[in-house]
Structure 1
Amino acid sequence: MVVNAHRPPRLYWAWLAGTGVSALGTQMLVFGLVWHAALVSPGLAAAVLSAQVVPRVLLTLHGGALSDRLGALPVMVVANTILCVVALMGVVAMSAAAPGPIVMVVIALALGTVDAVDIPASASVPKLLVASTAMGRAMAARQVVLQGAVLCGPPLGGVAITVLGLPATYGAGTAGYLVLIIVLCFVRSRTRPMPSADAGQGLNRQVRQGVAVVFGTPLLRAVVLLTGAFAMFVIPFSPLLVPVVSAARGWGAVTTGTAAGAFGAGMACVTLVVLWRGAASRAGAVAVAGMLIAAVGVGAAAAAPGPVAFCLVSVLVGLGTGVFSTHVGPLFMVACPREAVGRAQAVVTLAQWLPLLWANPLIGLLAQTHSVTVLLVLWGAGAAAAGVAALFARPFRAAVLAQETRPPEHKGKAS
């Protein structure tokens, strides 16, 4: 059988299908958990969300080290088995009686803690299964699947609650984790394990070594720093800046939803193109261009005269976000050392989460003390400054991926 190195192998698509089912179940489960907490009080809903995020921030680096030590696939099998048990306990708890706030917070803490181990392992699987020449398509496909789960999970969760009741969302999570466990066992039986980190070292030492590898490698360091800047100035646009701007300018919920959807549509268009054609070979320069496009869109939103113009610039921000994410992801993945890929993925994941802990409260504070026009100009300028700085970072600007052109067609059938 001839393997097409320019496209992800079938084994990757099998893993991605299982990941998609699991992600959809997770989104339905979390929706049910937060919705139930919100019925009790907004404070409890915030506590539940925080209980899920805090363990991720605190333990993700150790989760990445564990993935490198034991292997991504074995770690995912154990993590999803635990998640399956937690979700099944949720089904029982929700069916028996309405759980109190403590139970909901404990469930959220358990989900976040296991996610801290599972997310870096899952993010490193493309390195195990996909050739560098197909990494752009593989990462774009993964992004499509995860975004689809985020978009479809909450509506399906709402339908499940309406038709079957709250335990159905936990049942969906249980089923999703079970499907992924079966797929992982299948994939694991057909792959060779990646080189593992020295098991004689302590986990904390391995974490330090992983951070040193990332920040000691010019390209990886540049990607992490630019990703952090992108998370600070561009990622909050759709979930936070769009509602804040719409409310300040007196636009309704329809405009807010349309603008958020326009952002998603722009991002999805780029992702689908990369999935079809592959990522550009000069991935560093293209990623910088994506950040600058997004910066122009955020800044232009300050001058948008009405809802239609605002939705159009939202599309522009989405296009820039799509260009950035579909090129910086495979660039980082290809440059990661195989023996430290889990820890490297944990570092770049933290680079996306930590700035949001600062950006979201700061946006809320500035929105109360300044006009939204000033806020958009500041955030657009911040994104533009980071993009311009990246242009002067030679390791990033000159970074290339293996060419993903389509292989020539051969006559006859491949055996």
Structure 2
Amino acid sequence: MNSPGSKYLRFIKFRQPPVSDFRPLSFPGLKPLFLGVLFGFAVLLSLFACQHSTKDLGYNYGLLSYDSLENKAYLTMVNSLMDAQEIGPRTEVNFNGFILAQKDSRYFVMDQEQKAFVAYQIGEQGIRAVAKISMKDIPWEPYMSWVNWVNPHTILIGTVNHHKFNYLEIDLDAMKINRQGPLNIPETAKENNYVGVSGQLVDHKLFVSYTFQKGMMREHIVPCEETMYMAQFSYPELELQSTTQDDRTTWPGSYAILAPNSLVYQDHIYVLGQPGGRTGNRKGTPSSILKIDTKKNIFDPAYNFQIADGTNEEAYTLQNLGDGLALSSVVPLDKIHSFENYMINRVANFVLLDLKNQRKTKLDFPDVPLDWSFNTIWDDDFAYISVYQQDGNSQIWQYNRKDATLKKGLLIKGAIFRINRLKN
């Protein structure tokens, strides 16, 4: 499959002695694609943690980046995203799996080769696996999964596997599975597959967005359906309460563990339909943000924020910048002459979205690869955006939400694919 991202993925061996009962970590042998799958795979380990505690590393942020020249991934710890003097140690990261969650100095990774959910922790002397849960008998499909936080130490994983929706709830502190089971979303015809999948938890309700496609998504040939569907479940019971649909856009997700495409603002859900040629292949359908009214359990008929018309442009991913602002990647279609252009060329530009007022502003950044990554973070006053430049470095920009100004911050070698707080 052409996964969403990850340019120049190569086989990398783990050069340190493995932790007892853990195999050496490595990249699977994958041909060069684009920066994002690597960005979705990432793990962090530490020599100083017992299973139920974490260590304060003395740094505020962890930046995961990929250096294509060295063909290596790194973790850089920093205290400030703006001050170069606050940059801490840079540690090589070798991993095999998809990051599903991060909490303080730990990253939690689904390793498909081991069939295990693995906890890795950052330490002063390196990175190390400290605990794992067997996933041998639990179905999970990375490209049709999403993760929701139930509370500060519990995640709910949703996934589609073998034509069925399932859930898995994990206590990250105890490293145990609380429960698992089916999500009873109405079945589709046998020739269809669920695609464009994502979910959000709001006020004791789980909202799952999806669409259908004949054949497998990986083929990128058959257009998806023209309709976005939504199923609403009670939580914690996870019993189906209602379903609804909307045909103003489609393909409301997928690759959600690699990059976000929906967010919660003022207790309502904003979900981006991304039906363009890179995902749903329903050409001419607008890339629009729809609002899920979580009180009425419907798509708000009065809200339709069109980001790209589907004829001249397409939009992908929806990064939360706080206070009703978001970031999306827009691809002008005059730059797309074949599917490979999505994968290897700098075809996208970042746009700032005002969800409240439905306004779009192109940011004065260079064109970037169409990437699936978590390359933003925000706080009370500012949002931070990582922009991967042609010189092989990532420039962090600070966006001031009060006066709408941009300011340069840290310059990090390689392409940043994840920014996390190491102190919460």
Please report the TM-score for the alignment, with normalisation by the length of structure 2. Answer: 0.26
Q: Which structure has the greater CA radius of gyration?
A: 1
Greater helix share, structure number: 1
Greater strand share, structure number: 2
Say which structure, 1 or 2, has more relative contact order (CA 8 Å, 6+ apart).
1
